[in-house]
Amino acid sequence: DAGVIQSPRHEVTEMGQEVTLRCKPISGHNSLFWYRQTMMRGLELLIYFNNNVPIDDSGMPEDRFSAKMPNASFSTLKIQPSEPRDSAVYFCASGDPARSATDTQYFGPGTRLTVL
Amino acid sequence: DAKTTQPTSMDCAEGRAANLPCNHSTISGNEYVYWYRQIHSQGPQYIIHGLKNNETNEMASLIITEDRKSSTLILPHATLRDTAVYYCIVRVAGTSGSRLTFGEGTQLTVNP
């Protein structure tokens, strides 16, 4: 089975540009999570969805960040406008807490974003 | 979610057991202990979890003290591929509030 798929794997952009990160969760999973990892702050949760509905977006840094999940198989994280401090690795994870005995989250390979 | 405390780094010889400790003295009765690891440049990977009994799977064993205030992850025969950052996380499982809160973790280095 395919795991969580993220695209692009690497993104280099200039300050002020719009950036869109994409995630395809594991089929059948009903929870989706966006995390960000930096050296300074470690791994932190930005937002998560249950059944395509945003449950907690308290980790979203500011209005420049937005996330959508239009259907069960696709989610986007958008940054507009991007700033150099947004440079990080962004991970998407999916899970199915209602059915999984382990309530495991499965992480994608991440998108390494560099904002110049 | 309860706070956890882990050593910053540990070393282990290849083929030997790696024992990674975690303190979680404020854990609540309905919180599980989860372990994830992150190999360099990859996403975190689930290892094992438990509530109060010791657990074992194909990757590792988890020993939880009787008072549940601390636990130890055991990799019985560490290999070079086990070099990673290991995160101990305590959380309520199986609810809509299923966030993972990562601390700084323990950098385990397995040496040849």
- Closest residue to A56, CB basis, from B32, B45, B99: B99
∠ CA(B32), CA(B82), CA(B101), 5° rounding? 35
What would the pLDDT profile of A3-29 be if each residue is shown by its tens digit?
Answer: 999 999 999 999 999 999 999 999 988
Specify whether the CB–CB gap between A59 and A67 falls below 8 A.
Answer: no
Per CB-CB distance under 8 Å, the chain B contacts of A4 are 43
Secondary structure of chain B in the HEC alphabet?
Answer: CCCCECCCEEEEECCCCEEEEEECCCCCCCEEEEEEEECCCCCCEEEEEECCCCEECCCCEEEECCCCCEEEEEECCCCHHHCEEEEEEEEECCCCCCCCCCCCCEEEEEEC
What would the pLDDT profile of B33-65 be if each residue is shown by its tens digit?
Answer: 999 999 998 999 999 999 998 999 999 999 999
C-alpha–C-alpha distance, residues A94 and A30, integer Å: 7
% of chain A surpassing 90 pLDDT: 76
The 3-state DSSP class for residue A105 equals strand
- Mean pLDDT along residues A25-48: 93
C-alpha A67, offset from chain centre: 8
Q: Which residues contact A87 (CB under 8 A, 6 or more apart)?
A: A38, A113, A114, A115
Q: How far is A66 from chain B (nearest CA, A)?
A: 18
- Closest residue to B100, CB basis, from A56, A105, A109: A105
C-alpha–C-alpha distance, residues B15 and B111, integer Å: 9
What would the pLDDT profile of B62-106 be if each residue is shown by its tens digit?
Answer: 999 999 999 999 999 999 999 999 999 998 766 544 678 888 899
% of chain B surpassing 70 pLDDT: 93
Dihedral of the CA atoms A33, A38, A40, A45 (nearest 10)? 0
Give the A-side interface with B, CB within 8 Å.
Answer: 4, 31, 33, 42-45, 48, 50, 55-56, 91, 93, 95, 97-98, 100, 102-110
What DSSP state is assigned to residue A26? P
User: What pLDDT does A101 receive?
Assistant: 59
